[in-house]
Homo-oligomer: A and B are copies of this chain.
Amino acid sequence: MGVTVLDKVPRSGHSSYMRLSVNKQGEVQQATSRFAAVLRAHGQRWTGERESIMALVCQRTGPFTADEIADDLNGRGLAVSRSTVYRTLPLLVEAGLVSPRVASGEEHHFEYTFGSSHHDHLVCQRCGKIVEFQFEAFEMLQEAVAAKYGFELVGHVHELFGLCEACRGQKSS
């Protein structure tokens, strides 16, 4: 059960860290070929733009928006238009590589959720602190529910909202 505590969501920010662990690389490759396969199956094409987007998305560890991906891409000198990013993200969702996330009154958020690195969020409604958690039991139950209704599970969104320890004290601000 891995845990990470972030201070507010780290939006945007051209964080040019393209270095990956060997382990992660394998996952990216797997994700990439899955995307390519899904596209092929739908008579769609594997383009350089889609590859760039995929690569970037795989690096992300937290929620991101379409706009952020576009900016990040351009920040790295990769010329991919905003429209293309907007057109590609839904494809990644369909392919089960990315999941939509709950947006708190702003734009839509997505998150890379392919492979083992999956986790869910516990969000403080007051200060915005996010705790990532992972519980095997949830994953198993989810599979069970999906199966019960004849669904093939592709992804999920699971966010818990509440007040963190610090904020519980000064409740009625």
Binding site for B on A (CB under 8 A): 41-42, 90, 93-94, 99-105, 108, 122, 124-125, 131, 133, 135, 137-138, 141-142, 145-146, 148-165, 168, 171-173
CA distance A131 to B145 in the complex (A): 10
CA distance A152 to B171 in the complex (A): 11
Q: Which residues of B contact A171 (CB under 8 A)?
A: 41
Q: Which residues of B contact A158 (CB under 8 A)?
A: 156-159
Are B125 and A154 in contact (CB-based, < 8 A)? yes
Q: Which residues of B contact A159 (CB under 8 A)?
A: 156-158
Q: Which of A135, A138, A158 has the most CB of B within 10 A?
A: A158
CA distance A131 to B149 in the complex (A): 8
Partner of A138, one of B93, B122, B141, B164: B141
Are A125 and B160 in contact (CB-based, < 8 A)? no
Are B157 and A163 in contact (CB-based, < 8 A)? no
Among residues of B, the one whose C-beta sits closest to the C-beta of A120 is B145
Q: Which residues of B contact A41 (CB under 8 A)?
A: 171-172
